[in-house]
Chain A
Amino acid sequence: MQKEALSKGFIYLLLILGSLLMLLPFIWMISTSLKAANEVMIMPPKWIPTDIQWGNYIKAWFSAPFAMYSVNSVIVLVASTIGELITTILAAYAFSRINFYGRDIIFSILLGTMMVPGEVLLIPNFVTLSNLGWIDHYQALIVPWLASVFSIFLLRQFFLSIPKELSFAAKIDGCSDFRFLWSVMVPLAKPALITIAILKAIGSWNAFMWPLIVTSSENMRTLPVGLIAFSTDTGTKYELLMAASSMIILPMIILYIVLQKYIMEGVARAGIKG
């Protein structure tokens, strides 16, 4: 029994140490972001600022067009999440409830595209968007991301678990397929849809390579691309850099803490199904 308690203590110790290692970068970020400039570059480092400088956030916000970057990031996030939900709901319905010619072949081809790394698609997509005249416009940031095979797959699995008898009953009552989908299936699939939406929102907010390539003017940049530009301009003013980084990191951490049940579920399910 004593040995048991000892090993429990050991487990707690390691878990707490590990958690600290996970959290310290964020604590250090926030601590630095609140320091006066002369307290940043000192040895030994100071964890708690003597004088809390909330002004750093305002200073960082106004030293680059962060308002613009945020608006862009929010527009892209909202538009691509809503768009993806719509295309996903329609496609998942067809794959789970309509038996049509070529269904299994089309579905396998879609799953096949999932294995291809996005980097392979970069160049042709850039050319396509240039020819459409969409480079450096919102369309380039949004349209390619309006559908996702992974989401279709996830929702199709969920739709398959809804009993078919439900749709027979609705049909007898004279409900059209389309209405049935939106008024019965969609509300039932709410957990899966929240999972899809939240994973998409996080991905969109944090996306870097694609916005870097398809935006050229300053006022089309999203937050991560803007932050990189800011970091090149600011150099070593770490208190401002950390304040700017916090502004990108904290919204997603808050979203995650509120909706973590759905995120964990999505990640775990994706993991099991592969």
Chain B
Amino acid sequence: MNDKPTMKKTIKAILYLIPALLIIGTFSFYPIIKSFFMSFYTDYDYFKDLVFARGLDNYIFIFQDPEFWKSIQNTMIFVIGVVPLSIIISLVIATFLNQKIKFRGLFRTIYFIPFVTSVVAVSIVWRWIFHSQYGVLNYALGFLGISPIKWLSDPDWAMPSLIILAIWKGLGYNIIIFLSGLQNIDKQYYLAARIDGAGAWERFKNITVPLLSSTTFFISIVSIINSFKVFDEVFALFGGQPGPAGSAETIVYYIYNKFYGEWNFGVASAAAYVLLFIIFIFTLIQLYVGKKKVNY
């Protein structure tokens, strides 16, 4: 059977593709372009689609807005707080789960549970755990002689609270990806290392870590990108506020607030494009390094 594209096949394909392309075109592709243009609208009426003036004002505004810089800074703190810790913990747990142990399936199931639960509902549970007076966390810390921390009402502790919640929530996902990476490592390496008398730590350091580098890299990029987009946790943990005194305002919260709180669509679009740009850079790094790493 010859398999060359023909007009007839193209028409047939279009019929199959129409439903998906209509939705993706309208709600993904068009808005990517539209919001780029919107970020330059400085005087406009969106609902009538009238634009009276364009310019760089929105970008100038956000780059001069201390609140925007604060949101970038908070988001960076969040990324730095969540990603490395989460990766180290999940790698260790995944390595343990990859041993010959009993109840492996059960452990895996448990670690993944938070991932399938509603961020909003779980954040409200954590709000109760973080309660400064009656929360179990402060109670537990009391045994270590730590006096009660005002997790959610002290501006210094708002980000750590958010980071703890995010690590807890995302651990299971990383563990699953690490496990599938670990299963691709040839058991022969470990066998050979054992015969040579290498201990558990040496095997981990010299076999697991290097052979898992592409998985680790993938998880890092995905975690960084997802962490840049944190919003639901902030909203639910601090009851709709970006933390006490704006101390947990993230980029997406800033976008949300400019858009839905102040109805300033132009500024919100500009901020959204800055976020897109940051994520785009990480995606490029992933594609570039990812291609290089395929062939070992």
CA distance A113 to B10 in the complex (A): 22
Inter-chain contact B235/A100, CB cutoff 8 Å:
no
Q: A121-B28, A249-B117 are in contact. Are A88 and B20 (CB under 8 A)?
A: yes
A22 contacts chain B at the CB level, 8 A cutoff: yes
Q: How large is the interface on A (under 10, 10 to 19, 20 to 34, 35 or more residues)?
A: 35 or more
Inter-chain contact A41/B134, CB cutoff 8 Å:
yes
Total residues of chain B contacting the partner, CB 8 A:
102
Closest to A260 in B: B109
CA distance A149 to B20 in the complex (A): 9
Inter-chain contact A123/B269, CB cutoff 8 Å:
yes
Within 8 A of A (CB), among B111-126: 111-114, 116-122, 124-126
A190 contacts chain B at the CB level, 8 A cutoff: no
B-contact bits for A195-218, CB 8 A (1 contact / 0 none): 000000010011011001100000
- Minimum distance in angstroms from A151 CB to a CB of chain B: 9
Inter-chain contact A127/B47, CB cutoff 8 Å:
yes
- Minimum distance in angstroms from A199 CB to a CB of chain B: 10
CA distance A106 to B219 in the complex (A): 27
Q: A18-B93, A124-B30, A232-B240 are in contact. Are A264 and B276 (CB under 8 A)?
A: no
CA distance A8 to B172 in the complex (A): 22
Within 8 A of A (CB), among B1-50: 1, 3-5, 7, 9-10, 12-14, 16-17, 19-21, 23-24, 26-32, 34-35, 38, 46-47, 49
A: residues with CB less than 8 A from B are 7-8, 11-12, 14-15, 18-19, 21-26, 28-29, 32, 40-45, 86-88, 90-91, 93-94, 98-103, 106, 109-110, 113, 115-128, 130-131, 143-144, 146-147, 149, 152, 168, 177, 202, 205-206, 208-209, 212-213, 223-224, 227-228, 231-232, 238, 241-242, 244-245, 248-249, 252-253, 255-257, 260, 263-264, 267-268, 271-272, 274
| The 7 A-B residue pairs with the shortest CB-CB distance in the complex, in nearest-first order | A124-B31, A100-B13, A94-B16, A91-B20, A147-B23, A271-B177, A124-B34
Q: What are 19 A-B pairs with beta-carbon distances under 8 A?
A: A15-B107, A22-B113, A28-B136, A29-B125, A43-B133, A103-B13, A116-B32, A128-B27, A144-B27, A168-B1, A209-B231, A213-B260, A223-B118, A228-B120, A228-B239, A231-B236, A245-B121, A245-B124, A248-B120
